[in-house]
Structure 1
Amino acid sequence: MKICIFGAGAIGGYMGVKLAQVGADVSLVARGPHLEAMKSRGLTLLEENGVESRVQVQASADPEDLGPQDYVIVTLKAHSVPPVVPKMRPLIGENTTIVSGVNGVPWWYFHKIGGPLEGTRLQSVDPGDAQWNGFGPDRVLGCVVYPAAEVIEPGTVRHIEGNRFSLGEPDGAKSDRAVALSKALMAAGLKAPVRPRLRDEIWVKLWGNLSFNPISALTHATLDVLCTDTGTRNVARGMMVEAQTIAEKLGVRFPIDVERRIDGGAAVGAHRTSMLQDLDADRPMEIDALVGSVQELGRITQTPTPTIDTVLALVQLRARTAGLY
């Protein structure tokens, strides 16, 4: 089984090390100083329990060097994927599965969902249908990524917490390809359940990303503060309630309520969200997949989203002002 991780930053690097440690045929696509460090001295992982390990991995900036794969696991930021679809073609053979480990509403969301919205395409996450047409939705296997990790220096990834990568077919089937990848990830010490209702998990994670990320970018507050301050907690709650209305119209079932989800965010502590980290580091901010997509789904389902609309307008302007959108 050949596995390529496209976008081997923090999460992709963490997964890559774990797979390489058990002898999996894994390769990484990366760029810049991080790639050069991996080539020269390998990829180092500092695990949550303090264990440090280093592996030699096959890494390249050019997919031509790697050839067709059984699985291509995409761990880029959502806005970075559509422009690189043509670059990924050398990795894709007749039976290649694209594993979409990207935050937010996935581009394939309405593939095999059934009903009147079957095949609907989301321009906020896949402008010009780049992925839908470039990969084809039948290739996709969904993935919800739970670990937290960071690149602390080129070639070194620090694992913060979590080791679960939930997998799921768009139609909920327990397919051979999903089970095979699950077994490979579990052999590497990762949790990789195959879920019949992956969209439910997508929305529970999205609840937090939709609200906490833009509020933190606007206020520079950490999770413990924005989830307990009365004003920002009310804003987050308003966004989540609107999102829940949309999701339930699409058949999603939420296993917890809004208050428990916010309390869960507070329990994480003084964590700076990824959107705040991107703002501080002058990196493009992941706004459309996390917030704009939910606004688009509101329009599709004819659901008013006044709180989401307000926060989206503010964070878009904040990003434009910083030159990051």
Structure 2
Amino acid sequence: MKFAIMGSGGVGGYFGSRLAEAGEDVTFIARGEHLAAMQRQGLRVHSIKGDVVLDRVKATDDPASVGEVDCVIVAVKAWQVREAAESIRPLVGSDTLVLPLENGVEAADILAEVLGEAPVLDGLCGILAWREAPGEIRHAGVDPFVRFGERDNHSSARTAQLKAVFDKANGVSAEIPDDIRVAQWSKFMFICAMSGIGSISRAPIGITRQLPETRALIQAMLEEIDQVARGHGVAFPPDAVARAMQFIDAMPAESTSSMQRNIMAGEPSELESQNGAVVRLGRAVNVATPVHTMIHAALLPQELAARGEVPPGV
């Protein structure tokens, strides 16, 4: 299959490199020093599942130069999804799939608003990875997986074909869940709680899950997301919160979320798409979210500063 990877950082760089390693036709959409390094010397992935060295890769900052592809993997930051959707229009033909691998639960809706419903799948991934240097990706934790499906959960030949392609790639587990919304919200539950606690504490998960005080906050965040999800009709199992806590307890002790790393570096983050989304989506179904509301409010001044947005009256 012919793939375009829109956003070639930790997520896009890892999964795109595995597809290229498996012989698929992959073009990385990137910019700046990362793009220059890939064009000059290829892409290197340092991974606990085995390194990938691609001495030559297709890489560009101009999606229009690529032409239509079979699948666009959208792996930009959540706040960049709408802009990305507009820029990938030239990549999307009548049979193209658009697969978002975002941390939030709203990316597919945004993509469908811009591109129409037909090409868009619901999707998610699991991986602890980041861009370590221009042209280099570090995968340090979590057995990488992708999960995707049609937005109404019907079986389709196109998702089966995409899974078959991923199944050929080393270091990737692919699945079409029975209910993609449950899978998506399950991932959102643990990553949002991990992001929130890490961002306000500035500590790795190994510390926050052990201290009784911060563990109680994690538990409260999970329970709030559980109630918001159910309010939106997500068919969570009764033990959804317990499962999320088990996943958090199994994370490498030094793990931090990408949102936490962005906030600690003074960069724009996914605050509005994670803890802010819980507040917003909770309000829509009359579910109170006091812990997420507090975390969102506490981090908002720094977020606005990172984006160069000055609050009124300042």
TM-score with structure 2 setting the length = 0.90
In 1: Cα distance, 2:243 partner to 2:179 partner: 21
Offset, 1:263: 4.4
Q: Which runs of 5+ in 1 are unaligned?
A: 110-125
In 2: Cα distance, 1:12 partner to 1:43 partner: 12
User: Once the two structures are aligned, what percentage of the paired residues are identical?
Assistant: 29
- The residue type equivalent to 2:15 in the other structure is M
Aligned to 1:316: 300
Mapped contact 1:17–1:55 kept (Cα < 8 A): no
Residue 205 of structure 2 is aligned to residue 223 of structure 1? yes
Aligned to 2:150: 169
Runs of 4+ off more than 4 Å = 321-325
- The residue type equivalent to 2:201 in the other structure is T
Offset, 1:252: 2.1
SS in 1 for 2:297: helix
1:251-282 Cα shifts (integer Å, max 9, x gaps): 32137443453343233212122122112333
1:184-227 Cα shifts (integer Å, max 9, x gaps): 11111221111120111112211122222122111111101111
Mapped contact 1:75–1:102 kept (Cα < 8 A): yes
Aligned to 2:312: none
Offset, 1:180: 0.8
TM-score with structure 1 setting the length = 0.87
More displaced stretch, 234-243 vs 3-12: 234-243
Mapped contact 1:227–1:262 kept (Cα < 8 A): no
Correspondent of 1:148 among 114, 128, 138? 128
Mapped contact 2:44–2:51 kept (Cα < 8 A): no
Mapped contact 1:168–1:194 kept (Cα < 8 A): yes
Aligned to 1:138: 118
Residue 183 of structure 2 is aligned to residue 201 of structure 1? yes
In 2: Cα distance, 1:84 partner to 1:261 partner: 30
In 2: Cα distance, 1:107 partner to 1:163 partner: 20
Q: Note closer, same or farther for the CA distance 1:251–1:89 as it changes in structure 2 (3 Å cut).
A: closer
Offset, 1:323: 4.5
Aligned to 2:281: 297
Offset, 1:157: 1.2
Residue 67 of structure 2 is aligned to residue 87 of structure 1? no
User: Alignment RMSD, CA only?
Assistant: 1.9
Offset, 1:243: 1.3
Aligned to 2:193: 211
Matched pairs, number: 305
1:28-61 Cα shifts (integer Å, max 9, x gaps): 1011111111101111122214545224211100
Mapped contact 1:142–1:167 kept (Cα < 8 A): yes
- The residue type equivalent to 1:166 in the other structure is R
Residue 59 of structure 2 is aligned to residue 76 of structure 1? no
Aligned to 1:40: 40
Offset, 1:294: 1.8
SS in 2 for 1:270: coil
- The residue type equivalent to 1:295 in the other structure is V
SS in 1 for 2:54: strand
Q: Which runs of 5+ in 2 are unaligned?
A: 310-314
Offset, 1:148: 1.8
Aligned to 2:161: 180
Q: Note closer, same or farther for the CA distance 1:209–1:140 as it changes in structure 2 (3 Å cut).
A: same
Residue 249 of structure 2 is aligned to residue 266 of structure 1? yes
More displaced stretch, 243-252 vs 35-44: 243-252
Mapped contact 2:186–2:240 kept (Cα < 8 A): no
